[in-house]
Structure 1
Amino acid sequence: MARKTDPELARLSAADALGRLERGEAKAVDLVDACLDRIAAREPEVGAWTYLDRDHAIAQAEAADGRRASGRSPGPLHGLPVGVKDIIDTADMPTENGAALDAGRRPRTDAAVVERLRAAGAVIMGKTVTTELAFLTPAGTRNPHDPERTPGGSSSGSAAAVADFMVPLAVGSQTAGSVIRPASFCGVVGYKPSRGLISRAGVLPVAEPLDTMGVFARTVGDAAMLAQALCGPDPRDPAALVQPVPRLAAAAASGPPVKPLFAFVRQPAWEELAEDDMREAFAELAGFLGEQCDEVALPEPFSKGLDIHRTIMFAGLARHYAHYYNRGGDTLSAGARAAVEEGRTVLAHDYLVALDWVALLNAGLEQIFERYDAIVTPAAPGQAPKDLATTGNAAFCSLWTMCGVPAVTLPLLEGYDGMPIGVQLIGPRGGDERLLRTARWLMEETARADGQEG
């Protein structure tokens, strides 16, 4: 006999869903069923998934219910459905990296983040669409708010799946703007922790000095809960920090001791790329924050930041995509081939100098964070472009990725067409707890103001 599914379960936040499971008001299999039904109804239009096995998802949920029924510790993500970007290795599912040459690829082991998801009791629903090799070429996913618009990239499917209530949580990665930008375009919370908090072992490398894991959710608290479960040292990733796991969830749930101060930063790409509706929306936000927000100019060295990021990233692309280029360059998009070719022209001297710049830029940020709790800045030039041949421009994210600092984008603003525009908050490296606490405060304050106006 078929189970009767409550479709509203799919719309719950991760925290609310977890509460129902803990109170016995629903089972993991009910939640997964609701998400699978939502996927079945919406996937033809959104295209968020590259691999999904309904029976396997249900089997994981039944196992989670069995663990709880037996009295064993269910884990902090017990029974919660999670989407995993298809550059992250999964031993029981294909990992094809959005590349024709990797079609049918079956890893032997799980990536570190997948190991931690399983240990935390999550249900790994399937693999979400990535752009080709986590770079620029789209792979068919559409924005849930308007199917004629891009969802962003490269974590396209992860952002779209969370935005469309297919799953409450998803995992992605960022080398330039691949978490923050799609979260902004799709109207969800995207969180890129300080580099080194989450291991990259078992994830397709693009450029090691830049590559960072990230998460998608519909609330700041949910993003913090998922990220905390993924944090921790890992000798397989030389960049992984050896330190206690930060208390991200508790920080996100707490209030700041005093009202936070924000530094509004326009960034080097502002004059060239910022769209009119985004400029107006941020002017309104700055007005709302009033004396808690000052406009602050980045130190002069940041004017070279985007060029420095490009040097580091394209050198990495040339290294890690070389075997694709050499084995079957004709299967790659023109953009991927051009990136490899450009990366091969980067001189060792220029690459090493570019790496040295990162410390200089972080020194400039430290001066800002001596006074301000967070930098507030756009996540993207504006709302999602009405163009499925692009994933948008990452220029408003690249600096922060290069510096390794934590970033979170919040779905607070709208463009002229009613599409989401994300507000990006930046904190000092290692200041993830403070950043999430500040992000939660800003979400609540703007919601309170909207309620009063309504």
Structure 2
Amino acid sequence: MSRPLPSDLTALSATAAATAIKEGAISSVDLVSACLERITEREPEVGAWAHLDPDLAITEAREADAQLDRGDDVGPLHGVPIGVKDIFDTADYPTENGCPIFAGRRPERDATCVAALRAAGAIIIGKTVTTELALLTPARTRNPVNLGHTPGGSSAGSAAAVADHMIPAALGSQTAGSIIRPASFCGVYGFKPTLGLIPRAGVLMQSHTLDTVGVYGHSIEDVALLTDSMAALEPDDEVSFRRSRPSLLATSRARPPVPPRFAFVKPPPWSDADPEMQAALEALIARLGDRAVEIEIPVLADVIEWQRIVQLAENAHYYGPLLDEAPQHISAGLTQRLKEGRAVDAQTYLRSITGREPAYRTIAMAMRGFSAILTAAALGPAPEGFAITGSPIMNGLWTYLGMPALSLPLLEAKGLPVGVQLVGLRHDDARLLRTGRWLADAVTGQG
């Protein structure tokens, strides 16, 4: 290891932990045990976990250590504990989707992306809490930065568990803002790749147009490593793509050939954003000088509405049968949402779907000469209380467009974390992560 190990192993990032295990500086049992101790200590307050099996995790860690002792070839995440949002099928844990309808459900096999994590050597330490059917109804998870505030949703447990150093990294998903917003609220790195980069088979579907698998970690290298380990063609999913791609991890570590330029964008909801957060973001733009230029993209107003319509209609398609079969197990808020989705007429839905490609071309043209869009990751810091998980409006437009997005924990407002959101062109995930690394280093004085 180039750096000394921390006395508390839970402070290790996923990439640092993987290196330490391979080099024999620590064992997988050491790390998994430290994480389990942290979970035991903090879980009563944070509430990040839906399912845990400490004995299974330790057994798998021992086997990971035995493989190294035998000199076996190992994967890039060998022996590293990972949390998985409870909408991803897992053969050795229940998958209950945050809903009583699925209580006790035991899938026969892992989701494709979970199987890929295992193949890379990761140890699935447990399932993290999600909101009801991965939508807006708040879950029991609290924000570990301030327990009186929401961690966001729907990947609440994954973001909170990483932020509280219960685990080095975790798996989440985003249909509107379910990765980027919790990352911003909890002060961790969150990455929503290009739509279709990570396979979705075995993941609860709420919108085939929007659902995207993503990750949380303590560094850009972490989210790059996890994404590299899962990215693959999924022939049965029309959003998956056959494309040669560079290593995200290697590219994220590289120096950009020229310093990045940022398109600073204030989407229409900017007027509703927290003033202290606005000031912090505008101070960052001023610090970047001529490396950041504010631009306007008028079509974003339409995009926000199109995303809302598409998600409503497709939610009703996938979850409507659950409401018909077991209305007593669906919350009042979700019931109303599904009724609204069923009321969307075909013409409105089709207009909302067909607007996507022309809008993307317009935005791609506006981004010419820029490395990434720079904007807010949420309307402000995590709201106090637990009645809502916060608005996803600053994220849903980029999700609708299928563009990769990254939240970097670089700012603060009201004493709470605020993420900087970077957005890249489709399939340009590697450059987006490299750009994010450059920005993080510039802000922290490491560049």
Q: Find 1:443's aligned residue among 436, 440, 443.
A: 440
Matches within 5 A, 1:87-166: 87-166=87-166
Look up the match of 1:80: 80
Query: Match for residue 3 of structure 2?
Result: none
Partner of 2:286: 287
Shift of residue 245 of structure 1?
4.7
Distance 2:57 2:236 in 1: 28
Paired-residue identity, % = 48
Runs of 4+ in 1 over 3 A off after TM superposition: none
* 1:278 counterpart residue number: 277
Preserved contact between residue 232 and residue 245 of structure 1 (Cα < 8 Å): no
Does the residue aligned with 2:171 lie in a helix, a strand or coil? strand
Q: Distance in 2 between matches of 1:319 and 1:245?
A: 34
For 1:125 and 1:279, locate their aligned partners in 2 and report how far apart those are by CA, in whole Å: 38
Task: List runs of 5+ in structure 1 lacking aligned partners.
Answer: 1-5
Contact 1:7 1:34 in 2 (8 A): no
**Residue aligning to 2:379:** 381
Query: Which residue of structure 2 lines up, in the alignment, with residue 403 of structure 1?
Result: 401
**1:41-440 alignment, distance < 5 Å:** 41-271=41-271, 273-298=272-297, 300-416=298-414, 418-440=415-437
Count of residues in correspondence between the two structures: 442
1:70 positional shift = 1.6
Alignment RMSD (CA, Å): 1.2
The 2-side partners of 1:249 and 1:211 are apart by 24
Q: Distance in 2 between matches of 1:365 and 1:224?
A: 25
Residues of 1 paired with 2:158 and 2:236: CA distance? 25
Where 2:410 maps in the other structure, the secondary structure is strand
Aligned equivalents of 1:357 and 1:246: distance in 2?
30
1:7 deviates by 6.2
Listed as ranges, the gaps of 5+ residues in structure 2 are 1-5
Following TM superposition, by how much is the alpha carbon of 1:131 offset from its aligned partner in structure 2, in angstroms?
Answer: 0.3
**1:410 Cα offset (Å):** 0.2
Q: Structure 2: how far apart are the matches of 1:92 and 1:205?
A: 21
Secondary structure at the aligned position of 2:113 is classed as: helix
CA distance in 2, matches of 1:440, 1:359: 29
| AA aligned opposite 2:373 | I
Residues 174-200 of structure 1: per-residue CA shift (max 9 Å, x gap): 000000000000000000000011011
Question: Which residue identity is paired with 1:347?
Answer: D
Inter-partner Cα distance in structure 1 for 2:119 and 2:96 = 24
Contact 1:183 1:190 in 2 (8 A): yes
Deviations 1:262-316 (A, max 9, x none): 0100001111x21111111011101110110000001x22211211111100111
Distance, in Å, in 2 between the alignment partners of 1:140 and 1:112 is 28
> What letter matches 2:387 in structure 1?
A
Distance (whole Å) between structure 2 residues aligned to residue 210 and residue 268 of structure 1: 21
State the SS of the aligned residue for 2:224.
helix
Task: Give TM-score scaled by structure 1 length.
Answer: 0.96
Match of 1:366, SS state, is helix
Q: Please, what TM-score do these two structures have when normalized by structure 2?
A: 0.97
Deviations 1:210-233 (CA, angstroms, capped at 9, x unpaired): 000010001001110011101011
- 2-structure distance, mates of 1:111, 1:240: 15
